[in-house]
Amino acid sequence: MNQPIQGQSGQALLFLTDDQLRKGIEAMFFAYRGFTADPDRILEDMAYGRAHHRAIHFIHRSPGTTVNNLLGILGVTKQSLNRVLRTLIADGLVSSTVGHRDKRERHLHLTEKGAALERSLSDAQRERMRTAYRAAGPVAVAGFRQVLEAMMDDEMRHHYRAMVDKPDGR
């Protein structure tokens, strides 16, 4: 089991049993629960949910992003996103400014208040990530990222690469 077999292009092929794959599937399921657990706990007290977290995360990640860009990244309908953005803007966590070049566009930024919430959310999530990374070690981390990237849909991998390649997220 798990023995590399030489493929035609020189790439190592794996003999993968259904059982091995199932373990990976269940690992994804349980790990994603842990992954979202900490931010969920913080958000449940406020009137916000996971959708707000995602919006806040990617606005922080790409300040000045447009609504359309965010739609592509999040992969939801504009009605869904709008409901979230409306409350975030009304509560003063996100600012929406008319575009300079193209006045149809709205550029989204976090306010001080929004940045503070983002920090508390991502601190919790990063802490869990840091612990997991340390427990697993650098080689495991590299493999982790490789497998995740290979698991994405093409469009999502495109978004992911575009963001990851940016040096510091601005």
Stretch that binds DNA, among 4-12, 14-22, 82-90, 138-146 (CB under 7 A): 82-90
Site for DNA in 103-132 (CB under 7 A): 103-106
Regarding 67 and contact with DNA (CB under 7 A), the answer is yes
Cα–Cα distance measured from residue 98 to residue 70, given in angstroms and rounded to the nearest whole number: 16
Which residue reads 């550029």 in tokens? Answer: 107
CB of 24 to a copy of itself, least distance (A): 5
Regarding 41 and contact with DNA (CB under 7 A), the answer is no
Structure token digits, residue 118: 């983002």
Regarding 57 and contact with DNA (CB under 7 A), the answer is no
Site for a copy of itself in 23-62 (CB under 8 A): 23-35, 37, 54, 57, 61
SS3 108: strand
Which residue reads 């990237």 in tokens? Answer: 149
Angle, alpha carbons 6-25-158 (nearest 5°): 75
Radius of gyration of the chain (CA): 19
User: Residues 4, 14: contact at Cβ < 8 Å?
Assistant: yes
Regarding 20 and contact with DNA (CB under 7 A), the answer is no
Q: Which positions touch a copy of itself (CB under 8 A)?
A: 2, 4, 11-14, 16, 18-19, 21-35, 37, 54, 57, 61, 75, 122, 125-126, 128-153, 156-157, 159-160, 163-164, 168-169
